[in-house]
Amino acid sequence: MEKNIIIGVCGSISAYKSCEIVREFKKRNWEVKVIMTEKATKFISPLTLEVLSKNQVYVDMFDRKNYKQDHISLSEFADIILVAPATANIIGKIASGISDDLLTCTIFAFSGTVIFAPGMNDNMWKNKIVEENVQKLKKYGYKFIGPEKGELASGKVGIGRLAEIKKIIEITENEFKKQNNINEAI
């Protein structure tokens, strides 16, 4: 069975971990396309993710040489959208109905499972507005993996660290199986 995933990468220091996430999905025979926010490109290069995914990485919604890969065709490609790392910004935009870039437009055009794996400073994660946005998105059926407690980029220990890659992969694959009614043989 074909398994297609869009991995959204946002502007968090944990964006470098998206490289390993892409590699793991490729090892498990997923077709991977990556959409990066402009801020994510400040942390890692689109070229790195192109090499790992073996597909073009999408950043600019108005890239004219790739007209067929707009938010509609990308949303039709995907079985699941995983945003890892998900920032307070992307969570807030989706919770508020803001679609002002390729990633947010693709998420709003998509009718399947969207999973957020947050990665941010613990003070940001514990912010009341972020908490409300997460609860609102959960109410609408969006899924969340983590974040976890651990050492953050600041050197401080707190909740906000991107979940372990293995956990992100396993939960995403289980969501795919659920939505496709795939039962594993025992």
Cα–Cα dist 97/94, whole Å: 5
Burial class (CB in 10 A: 0-12, 13-18, 19+), 32: buried
Length of the chain as a residue count: 186
CATH top class, domain 4-179: alpha beta
* Average pLDDT of the residues in 73-100: 94
For residue 185, the model assigns a pLDDT of 45
Cα–Cα dist 117/84, whole Å: 5
For residue 181, the model assigns a pLDDT of 77
Provide φ and ψ at 86, rounded to 5°. Answer: -100, 130
Write out pLDDT tens, residues 6-46.
999 999 999 999 999 999 999 999 999 999 999 999 999 99
SS3 state of residue 170: helix
pLDDT tier at 130, thresholds 50, 70, 90: very high
Taking the CA atoms of 168, 169, 175 and 179 in sequence, report the sign of the dihedral they define.
positive
Contacts of 67 (CB under 8 A, 6+ apart): none
- Which range among 57-61, 80-84, 125-129, 137-141 shows the weakest confidence by mean pLDDT? 57-61
Instruction: Return mean pLDDT, the chain.
Output: 91
113-118/80-86 β-pairing:
parallel
Taking the CA atoms of 80, 86, 147 and 91 in sequence, report the sign of the dihedral they define.
negative
Cα–Cα dist 53/186, whole Å: 31
Residue from 43, 69, 45 nearest 58 by CA: 69
